[in-house]
Structure 1
Amino acid sequence: MSPEILTILMFATLVGAIALGHPLAVTLASVATLYGLIDNGFNVPALLDLFVNNAWGIFLNYTLVAVPLFIFMAQILDRSKVSEGLFDALYIVLGGLRGGLGLAVIVVSTVFAATTGIIGASVVAMGLMAGPALLRRGYDRGMSAGIICSSGTLGILIPPSIMLVVYGGLTGLKETSVGNLFAAAILPGLILSLLYLLYVGVRCAINPDLGPPIPPEERTATAAQKISMTMKSFVPPFSLILIVMGTILAGVATPTEAAALGGVGAMILALFNRKLNWEVIKQASVSTARTTAMIMALFVGGKLFSVVFLSMGGGDVVSDALLGMDVSPYVVLAIMMAVVFFLGMFIDWAAILLVVVPIFTPIAMDLDFNPLWFAMLVCINLQTSFLTPPFGYALFYFKGVAPPEYTMGDIYKGILPFVGIQVVGLVLMIVFPELITWLPSVFFGG
């Protein structure tokens, strides 16, 4: 059977199995096994050798040790209620503005994203805190849902991000090391946050009914009190960000070592908030083990899929199809970004990375694209996967904790403008690549 036919059948089988609701890690491994046997003439020992060697290589990857450490840090922070104090302070500081409470949600989510790196924690925490508050203040339900879901997804992009650690572990390229990816993601993440702030501020200024300010009788805090509240709630998480990111960008620690420091720092913050006890540590450890096991299972399944796909010539088929077109390299880039966006509507981000990175990265390098720039475009694009129906995870995280007044119709309606903003952000990064490459060059040279 020709590589072209095998390539089409392999992807069709993967999509069909996912559509039927089978577990993703098992689906990737099963499809890899089936087509690996077809490709090598049902030589079982040879396929097992191929699988064992590649699976074992994953567990020898030192970079991936950062995954459970960052997850543990996020779990401890989630239980220490660090974000609640900051939200309460910004509620008072910004509440007098039109859309001020929505702006506060975005700011808190941005700070929280820089301390967690996990979407579920950010969206659930803000959904519990801000969902009812926005409803009580008369905010439009669609806009409220869009604000919480979109700003909550910043955690997958703003470092320390689990997705960036996974990406760095996949490529093995110096240009896309975890340190470079962390530095490259800072400005795009902050720019997306700024675009959210501008959108909410302008929309609510034009139509105050979307986000009414807090009534004047409730604005009793003085300027000094506002500054004091903000500093007390902002300094602890910001200090943790400096510890984690500062040590990486300064070259003092590897991402794995910085993740360990972050875990210790999170426990110290929880201790100061009087939330640290054995039960919290136990729950955080169990959740960390479960999440890490899920990610590593996806890693193994995705690695088996990609190695079979490449060994049977699927990578060459895709590469020849894209590079053989007589078009601008940016048209090829647009096609690759469209594929990632489409897959994001149906498949988990980890599986997408595991499938497309081994295929698209060589193509991007053949087109003379900067590997770091291309990697960040993929990661920014994947942020939309948490918002795009029908399987946007952030939408279901929020629905699971939001008051019943928020319907799925409200949520779908509310996230559409923010998906558009994310696409605008992606276009900005394509047009102005220095937004991605400048900080890595400052910290690491080149």
Structure 2
Amino acid sequence: MMEFISLYLFLAVCLLLMLGFPVAFTLAGTALAFATVGTLTGVFDTRFLAALPGRIFGTMNNTTLIAVPLFILMGTILERSRVAEELLHSMSRLFRGVRGGLGISVVVVGMFLAASTGIVGATVVTMGLLSLPSMLKAGYKPSVATGTICATGTLGQIIPPSIALVLLGDVLSNAYQQAQLNMNIFNPKTVSVGDLFVGALIPGLLLVGLYILYLLLQARFDPDATPANDLEPISLEEVARGLLPPLLLIMVVLGSILAGAATPTEASGIGAIGALMLAMAKGQMDLPRLTGALQNTLEVTCMVFMILIGAAVFSLVFRGFGGEELIHQFFEQLPGGAVSATLVVMLVIFLLGFILDFIEITFVVVPIVGPILLAMGLDPVWLGIMIALNLQTSFLTPPFGFALFYLRGVAPESVPTGAIYRGVVPFILLQLLLIGALWYWPAMATWLPSVLK
């Protein structure tokens, strides 16, 4: 009976979040309310909560999480210094005369913007404000324009280096060690955020390639939906000035991690300083902009770590009520073993992606199911990439996908909501195709990390 209280706790949290209550305080407050009632009725052991100070202190000592505010700062500076806007304009001129060239430019620029921010909402809103008016003015069909922007905005889930992969890598690392300890392996192997970055490279670039291929096919079979732009040609000097600096910054950040010259935390510092220097060199950084970037970074960072603390309280109370054992028993009784257990988890995460952001899912759901799945023999890098792709698809799927809401908020009223929904369907099918390929060929995610180790 006590184990089912943990399920009531989980359902209560989901219900309150759907009603719009703040995530961090909902997680902690609901868990503490259940723990209080459980303590008074004698079904909850308060010694579980005694571990909370150690959890918080461990978070404070976690050097990997330092990358979170630094990557956020990097993306915020690039956004406020109009680097993304100049990059989009340069790419559009580079593809002038090519049908679908503006859409391809949006995908490429969105990929680099996703790599620098890793936050779906920020990328969708930024690309929506920058590129949607240009695409509509150029004669793009509204469904194609909005679908391209929404799909590109979700690339922040899978394109490294992203905040989603940093948080997911840290949580999976702890889950992997816990799984090995549960199997009486007292010298556990580890998986790092860098491993997840490397593992995401091939699937991420394949997904970008699929997006571009779709736009080229769309231009071939429906030329009126993706007309060529008539911008003036771009010179080599303008290419070097507009394209190379931000591309070099991303390559240095990611390359230093892949080469083993820097950890993700160190690379995030390089990225933040590099973005600041790039903005200053372009004359797009002054004190008000820097203050705004720092304030935005502080707000997002505080949100992330408050959710982390709230999730720690929730997980301790959930375990105190025997929720972890209940889920473990459920997975063991499923026919099909690890395959069916993984399918169930992916379905649950997909549905939760309609009501929760990736941060809440990463901190609440993954620590619960991660150790169980990894103990069944799943590769942690493969599991992490699958979760990231799954969430990316969830954020894009009508009618509740977050990316759709973000774009609806900045799109003109002349663009109907139905056009946004129709526009994302081909991209959802492409993502499902990639998820199926990754399921069939796990080496797509695991081969490169094993080679570079």
Q: TM-score, normalised by structure 1?
A: 0.92
Q: Please report the RMSD computed on the Cα atoms of aligned residues, expressed in angstroms.
A: 2.0
Partner amino acid for 2:446?
T
Q: 1:38 to 1:56 in 2, by over 3 A?
A: farther
Match of 1:439 among 435, 438, 448: 448
Q: Which residue of 2 aligns with 1:306?
A: 315
Question: Within the alignment, does 1:179 sit opposite 2:178 as a pair?
Answer: no
* Equivalent residue letter for 2:121: G
- Report the alpha carbon displacement of residue 145 of structure 1 after superposing the two structures with TM: 0.7
> Which deviations, in whole Å up to 9, do the C-alpha atoms of 1:389-435 show, x marking residues without a partner?
44433223222322332232222222222222222211111111111
Supply the distance in 2 between the matched residues of 1:286 and 1:272 (Cα, whole angstroms). Answer: 22
TM superposition shift of 1:219 = 6.0
Partner residue of 1:189?
A: 204
Residue 64 (1) aligns with residue 73 (2): no
Q: Is the 8 A contact 1:323 1:363 kept in 2?
A: no
- Partner of 1:2 in structure 2? 2
Deviation of 1:22 after TM superposition, in Å, equals 1.2
Displacement after TM superposition at 1:331 (Å): 2.4
Q: Secondary structure at the match of 1:394?
A: helix
* Distance (whole Å) between structure 2 residues aligned to residue 226 and residue 328 of structure 1: 58
Pairing of 1:250-265 with structure 2 (within 5 A): 250-265=259-274
CA distance in 2, matches of 1:302, 1:389: 27
Per-residue Cα deviation, 1:282-318 (whole angstroms, up to 9, x for no partner): 0000000000011111111112112221232211211
CA distance in structure 2 between the partners assigned to 1:371 and 1:391 by the alignment: 29
2:157–2:164 contact (8 Å) kept in structure 1: yes
Cα distance between partner residues in 1 of 2:331 and 2:46 = 34
CA contact (8 A) 1:100 1:213 kept: yes
Matches within 5 A, 1:166-315: 166-170=167-171, 171-172=173-174, 173=176, 175-214=190-229, 218=230, 221=233, 225-315=234-324
- Residue in 2 that maps onto 1:349: 358
Residue of structure 1 in register with 2:183 after alignment: none
Q: Which residue of 2 aligns with 1:27?
A: 26
Q: Which residue in the other structure is 1:384 paired with?
A: 393
Q: Secondary structure at the match of 1:159?
A: coil
The CA deviation string for residues 81-137 of structure 1, in whole angstroms up to 9 with x for no partner, is 112222112212223222221111111111222222222332222111210011111
Bigger shift: 53-62 or 297-306?
A: 53-62
**How many Å apart are 1:257 and its aligned residue?**
1.4
CA separation in 2, counterparts of 1:54 and 1:388? Answer: 35
**Does 399-408 or 59-68 show the bigger shift?**
399-408
The Cα offsets for residues 162-214 of structure 1, whole Å up to 9 and x where unpaired, read as: 11111222233554311111111111111111111111221221111221223
**Mean alpha-carbon deviation: is it higher for 9-18 or for 100-109?**
9-18
Structure 2, unmatched stretches of 5+, are 177-188
1:122-161 equivalences under 5 Å are: 122-161=123-162
Pick closer, same or farther for the CA change 1:405–1:8 going to 2, 3 Å. Answer: same
User: Could you tell me which amino acid in structure 2 is paired with residue 333 of structure 1?
Assistant: T
Letter in 2 for 1:183: V
The change in CA–CA distance for 1:219 and 1:60 in structure 2 (over 3 A counts) is: closer
**Change beyond 3 A, Cα 1:188–1:136:** same
* Deviates most, 271-280 or 11-20: 11-20
SS state at 2:276 partner: helix
> Which runs of no fewer than 5 residues in structure 1 stay unpaired?
none
Give 2:387's aligned amino acid.
Answer: V
User: How many angstroms does 1:321 deviate by?
Assistant: 0.8
Aligned to 2:99, the other structure's residue is in SS state coil
**Aligned to 2:85, what secondary structure does the other structure show?**
helix
The match for 2:369 is 360
- Paired residue type of 1:111: F
The amino acid that maps onto 2:2 is: S
The 8 Å contact of residues 115 and 240 in structure 1, kept in 2 or not, is answered as: no
Q: Contact conserved, 2:107 with 2:148, CA < 8 A, in 1?
A: yes
SS of 1:21's equivalent in the other structure is coil
Distance 1:55 1:187, change over 3 A: same
> Contact conserved, 2:2 with 2:43, CA < 8 A, in 1?
no
Aligned length, in residue pairs: 437
Task: Report the 3-state secondary structure (helix = DSSP H, G, I; strand = E; otherwise coil) of the residue aligned with 1:130.
Answer: helix
Name the SS of the counterpart of 1:242 in structure 2: helix
Classify the secondary structure of the residue corresponding to 1:326. coil
Counterpart of 1:185 in structure 2: which amino acid? A
Q: Does 1:338 align with 2:347?
A: yes
Paired with 1:24 and 1:288, the residues of 2 have a C-alpha distance of: 18
The one-letter code of the counterpart of 1:245 is L
Paired with 1:249 and 1:115, the residues of 2 have a C-alpha distance of 16
SS in 2 for 1:88: helix
| Deviates most, 98-107 or 170-179 | 170-179
Answer yes or no: is the 8 Å Cα contact 1:55–1:304 preserved in 2: no
Distance of 2:205 and 2:216 partners within structure 1: 16
Question: Offset at 1:327?
Answer: 1.6
**Residues 430/175 of structure 1: CA separation in 2 closer, same or farther (3 Å cut):** farther
Distance 2:18 2:372 in 1: 28
Deviations 1:42-101 (CA, angstroms, capped at 9, x unpaired):
879646523333233222212111111111111111111112222112212223222221
Measure the CA separation in 1 of the matches of 2:322 and 2:337.
25
**Using the alignment, how far apart are the partners of 1:301 and 1:176 within structure 2?**
25
Percent of aligned positions that are identical:
39
Q: How does 1:42-61 map to 2 (within 5 A)?
A: 46=47, 48-61=49-62
In the TM superposition, residue 325 of structure 1 has moved relative to its aligned partner by: 1.7
TM-score with structure 2 setting the length: 0.91
Report the residue type matching 2:24 in the other structure. Answer: A
Letter in 2 for 1:116: T
Judge conservation of contact 1:175–1:371 (CA < 8 Å) in 2: no
